[in-house]
Amino acid sequence: MKLRAIVLAGVLGSALAGCAGMDAKDVKVVELGAVPQGSYDLVARVWTETWMTPFWIPWYATEADAMEGLKSQAALRGADAVANAVCIPAPTAWGGTRYFCHGDAVKMRPAADRPFFTPPKT
C-alpha cells in the first residue's frame, strides 16, 4: 500500500513538473564540440542517472521517436538543449528493431554570460 502511494506521488509530481516545462519541439540537439565550453549548464543526464535504469528503459519503434522521447524528458527537466545524444538500436525477438536514446539535458547560458574564447595563436 505504501509503495502504491509513493508511485502515485511520483507520477503526479512528474506530471505537475511537466506543466511548467518547455515543449519538446523547442529543445535543440547540439554537439558539444560545436558549443564553447562554459556556454551551458548541465541540468540532468537523461535516462542514465535514475535508479530505474537498471530495471526499465524506454524503447521506441523508430530512432526519431526515441529522440523525441529524449527531448521530451529534457524539456520536463527545464533544459533547452540536449548534448551528447546517443541512440542505440537493439534487435527484438520477433525480428524488428527498437531504439533507446540517452544524453545530457543542458541549459544554454545567455550570450552575455558566456565566456569569451580566443584560440591561441600558433
> Would you write out the chain's pLDDT as a tens digit for each of its 122 residues?
443 433 333 433 444 444 455 677 788 888 867 777 778 889 999 988 878 778 888 999 999 999 999 999 999 999 999 999 999 999 988 889 999 999 999 998 887 666 665 555 66
Quick check: helix, strand or coil at residue 41?
strand
Site of grid cell 524506454: 58
Q: What is the pLDDT of residue 55?
A: 87
CA 10, 15, 20 angle in degrees (round to 5)?
125
Count CB-CB contacts under 10 A for residue 44. Answer: 18
Strand partners, 105: 44, 82
Gyration radius of the chain over CA positions:
17
